[in-house]
Every structure is written in C-alpha cells, then in structure tokens.
Amino acid sequence: MAGRIKDSDVTYVRDHSPIDDVVGDYVQLKSAGGGQKKGLCPFHDEKPPSFHVTPSKGYFHCFGCQVGGDVIAFIMKLEHLTFTETVERLADRIGYTLTYEAGSSNSGPSINRSRLVAANLAAAIFYQEQLQLPEAQHGRDFLTKRGLDRDAAKTFGVGYAPDQWDSLFKFLKGKGFTEEELMLAGLIKEGTKGAIDRYRNRLIWPVKDISGDVVGFGARKLASDEVDQGSKYLNSPETTIYKKNKIAMKFYGMSSEEAMNKYNGGMADYKASEGKVVWIPYKGPLDKTLKQICGGIRSACSYVGATTLRDFSKCTTFVRIK
C-alpha cells in the first residue's frame, strides 16, 4: 500500500462496524444479559461458551483463552490479516471509501484489497461462462468421467480457462482492471512478449476465504503431459489476499456459511454441535473432494497448500475417516 490509512477513516470504520454484527458473521451469539452477548469462542475449542461481546463498548473478550479487543482486533486475529487489510475489509463491508496519507514510509502499489477481490470475482465468472462453450467440451467430459454433474460444477463454481494466451487478460482489461492490479491478484504473469494468463486449457475452481470472498484459484490440467509439461494441479501464487499458510481453511466455490448450510444439514453420522460444524478434511484438489461429496459425504472439505490439520482445526471441528 502506497500510503497509511488516515486515522479519521480508521475511527469511522471502527465506529460504524457494530462488533456484534461483525462477530455474528462468524459466531452464533445469544443474549447473555447486561447488554452482552455470548457464544462459542472461535479461537479455541470450548463448551460451554465463554466468549462475550459487549456492543455498547465495541469490545469482545473470551474468559477461556483471555483473547479480547475491538472489532479490528477480532478480524485481524480470526482472518490472519494485517491492520491495513482488516480496515480495508471492514470498509468494504460498510461501503466506505478509504483515503490514504501521502508520503508514508510504506512502499508498494496503491491498490486496495477490494480491487483484487473484485478482479478475482470477475475472473471466476469469466471461467464459469467459458465452461459452457463448445471449446470446453473436453473439460465437461472430464468432469462427467469423474462423476461430477452439471449441478455440482455450478454449485462449486467450476470453470474453464480457454486454450489461449491472453483471453482472461483481455476480458478483465475490458472491465477496467489494470495490468498492475491483475498481476497483484495473481491472475496473469509475465510471458516472453508481455503479460499472459496464468492458466490455460485447465479446469478452474475458485478458492474462497472464510468470509466468502474469492481470493484465488485452483487449476487442473486437461492436456496430456506430452502437450502440457506443467504440473497437473496449480494454485494461485501468494498475494496480499491469498496466503496459503494464513488462511486456515479454503472452501472451494463456497464460503464457509454456504458450505455449512448446504452440505452439513443432512449428515446422520456427523452432526453439528453447539454451533460448530463437523468437517471431514481432504488433503488435495477439488476434483477429488467433490467425488466424496457427490458420493454422499456432504461434509467433505478440501484444504490446500501449506495448510496443516492444526491450522484447519483453528476454525472447525473435524473427524478422521477410518
């Protein structure tokens, strides 16, 4: 970020982001009397709940693990974001435009998080539309052979990267995104003759963070090894919004809330308890995880990159399949 967020803007965002509303996006809160609300702490496993929110003071505190702070501190800790990234996310949430002070010691391109998220979302829509075209028939055939029907592909936002060098780049430039923004979002890369798309002739699925923003992509090679000598599976590079070792759980195609509502409700063997959803984590790419879901394991969830089971357990309860 090229400048420091003005203190007045930070104050405005904090004051106009009710902490119970923000926390309520992640924690099921109930009235605790005395103007407080309580729920299960998202930072450690517990029962009964000891996590309290005081809306009138804009403060949260867990009597179990002693973590506390304001709305900015909550998002920073839960989402593993920097202070600036957190304020930008909260500003996006309330539709507020931030201003930055010139002459800050910080260096780097002056592009905020919302532009990178918007670029990723536009790319996701582009890829999904491409999957429906005649040129993507071999991609649809691959999904069918893997037992993934049209509904599953639609639910998880599966798409197709055309077998062209710069189709996404041209599309997003036409939408008003700059080359700098697309580079920072990890959507394009430098080729021998300029910028080119990062993915070509691959099945694509969006990766969402726990709040539901599209922050990256996974891609599966469709060509043979003789034609495409690249890796079978590719993930987005590290960006300011996609950090593999900081996003504890990556939901392919759905946010955590969407996934919980859609795929955990009907499980007989593994049930949600006290607001915590039980997930069965699978190490690996989407097409393998979707096979578990389409096969009846509705709580399958894939985690990728440097994420470990310890990271995974920070935001979910999980069980192992014997």
Cα separation, 87 vs 207, whole angstroms: 22
E strands within 7-153? 30-33, 36-39, 51-54, 59-62, 68-69, 100-101
22-74 pLDDT, tens per residue? 999 889 999 999 999 999 999 988 889 999 999 999 999 999 999 999 999 99
% residues pLDDT > 90 (the chain): 44
Backbone angles phi, psi at 23, to 5 degrees: -65, -35
209-223 pLDDT, tens per residue? 767 789 999 899 999
Beta bridge partners of 283: 303
For residue 279, the 8-state DSSP code is: E
- Does residue 49 contact residue 40 with C-beta atoms inside 8 Å? yes
Where does 111-322 sit in CATH, by number? Answer: 3.90.980.10
What is the per-residue pLDDT for 170?
96
Segments of the chain scoring below 70 in pLDDT: 1-3, 102-111, 210, 244-322
> What's the whole-model pTM score?
0.66
E strands within the chain? 4-5, 30-33, 36-39, 51-54, 59-62, 68-69, 100-101, 159-161, 188-191, 194-197, 202-208, 214-221, 233-235, 251-252, 278-283, 300-303, 317-318
183-210 pLDDT, tens per residue? 999 999 998 889 999 999 999 988 887 6
Q: Which of 163, 169, 200, 174 is nearest to 185 (CA)?
A: 169
From 3.30.1330.60, 3.90.580.10, 3.30.70.3340, 3.40.50.10140, which CATH number describes the 4-101 domain? Answer: 3.90.580.10
Sorted by where each begins, the domain ranges of the chain are: 4-101, 111-322
